[in-house]
Amino acid sequence: MPHPDTWLCVRPEGLYCAPGDFYIDPVRAVPRAVITHAHGDHARPGHEAVLATEGTLAVMRVRMGEAAAGDTQQALAYGERLTVGDVTLWMEPAGHVLGSAQVAMEYQGSRAVVSGDYKRAADPTCAPFVPIPCDVFVTEATFGLPVFTHPPAASEAQKLLESVALFPDRTHVVGVYALGKCQRVIAVLRSLGYEKPIFLHGALMPVCEVYERLGVRLGDLRPATVAGKAALAGQIVLAPPSAIADRWARRLSDPVTCAASGWMRVRQRAKAGGIELPLVISDHADWPELLQTIDDVGAPEVWVTHGNEEALIHAVTLRGYRGRALRLIGYGEEEAA
């Protein structure tokens, strides 16, 4: 059985599967790309052939335009098997954002799984992570330090609702990424019984429409841009993190500035960003989830793509697995593109 390091390697373009002649989440335009999910650091424009789930392709088309999302686009359903060159390839949910997938590859009886970004916590807007037993598990480590433990998203969203009740004349503006975080915050608020309109910065609307089209109910969403200051008093407004720091937010009525991110676990980070109400809501696995997942897939060898590689590799070594840092460049900033 060939070891995966003989057929899966790091090139400047990204992770390359030689017997299938394709790249996974390449950072440069390539002839054949397999894309785990539509965040800008994983889904780049300009590839010739793109293979991804329907959800990922739909978001890519909306964000970068039909032409840039791949000259040819092939959708693969979760669990559907495909022969690419000498490799059998399939995808299973990664639980990260709508359409997010792990890529499983089998070559001459040897199996590698590339997680992409993932989490194990419940998320009503995407299919839950499925552990795939394998010989090499390629994992991210965004929150790969023991200090990172994420509370349940519902309890964080409850804090937001309590603050809204406490300050009924103020606008609560929440910094969220356009893909994933935005829709998850909305869906969790809805699951807590919040049925009032939720106001959105214009940059957030297109991806919400894709989610709705693919069956994720988000309720009454309205553009924040056309609503007056008075109409936004006491309301929840979602905006990209960059917008809440700038003059865009000044149109709001005495805003309470919030942000939903795993990084909000770091107090100084919230403070430096001027965040009054930090909400620890992450779409990445926290430290216990990373270790749990490595135990679940049972791979004797774990490769770490990006994030806090050293700490995770140290921890997996102590648990009896072999760890290796791939040090892939160009990942980690979700909205890089």
Residue 302's nearest CA partner among 291, 23, 148, 100 is 291
Give the residues across from 138 on adjacent strands: 114, 303
> Where does residue 63 rank: exposed (0-12), middle (13-18), buried (19+ CB within 10 A)?
buried
Q: Which is nearer to Zn ion, 7 or 331 (CB)?
A: 331
Segment 253-312, which members bind Zn ion (CB under 5 A)?
none
CB of 269 to Zn ion, least distance (A): 18
Distance CA 89, CA 83 (A): 6
Structure-token pair, residue 57: 């392709």
* Nearer residue to Zn ion within complex by CB, 248 or 331: 331
| Binding range to Zn ion, per CB under 5 A, among 113-121, 145-153, 223-231, 310-318 | 113-121
- Output phi, psi for 318, to 5 deg: -65, -30
Q: Taking contact as CB under 5 A, which single stretch among the options 22-30, 111-119, 220-228, 255-263 is the one that binds Zn ion?
A: 111-119
Strands 136-141 vs 110-114: parallel, antiparallel or unpaired: parallel
Calculate helix-pair angle for 153-166, 181-191, nearest 10 degrees: 70
Contact letters (x/-) for Zn ion, 69-108, by CB under 5 A? ----------------------------------------
Nearer to Zn ion, 67 or 336 (CB): 336
Largest CA distance in the chain: 67
Judged by beta carbon, residue 53 or residue 110, the one nearer Zn ion is 53
Q: How far apart are CA 300 and CA 89, in angstroms?
A: 20
Residue placing its CB nearer to Zn ion in the complex, 126 or 239: 126
Cα–Cα distance list, 205 to 177, 201, 219, 233 (Å): 12, 7, 13, 21
CB of 278: closest distance to Zn ion in angstroms? 20
Give the three-class secondary structure for 9.
Answer: strand
Q: How far is the CB of 96 from Zn ion (least distance, A)?
A: 6
Query: Which of these ranges, 116-124, 155-163, 243-251, 290-298, lies near Zn ion under the rule CB under 5 A?
Result: 116-124
* C-beta of 235 vs 282, nearer to Zn ion: 282
What is the pairing mode between strands 172-175 and 256-260? parallel
Using CB under 5 A, count the residues that bind Zn ion. 4
Give CA–CA dist 245/175, Å, rounded. 9
Helices (H), 108-225: 153-166, 181-191, 205-213
Smallest distance from the beta carbon of 284 to Zn ion, in angstroms? 7
129 vs 331, which CB is nearer to Zn ion?
A: 331
User: Measured from the CB of residue 12, what is the shortest distance to Zn ion in angstroms?
Assistant: 18
Q: Does 117 bind Zn ion (CB under 5 A)?
A: yes
Q: Which stretch binds Zn ion (CB under 5 A): 17-25, 79-87, 225-233, 325-333?
A: 325-333
The 23-42 site mask, x for binding Zn ion (CB under 5 A), equals: ----------------x-x-
Q: Which chain residues interact with Zn ion by CB under 5 A?
A: 39, 41, 117, 331
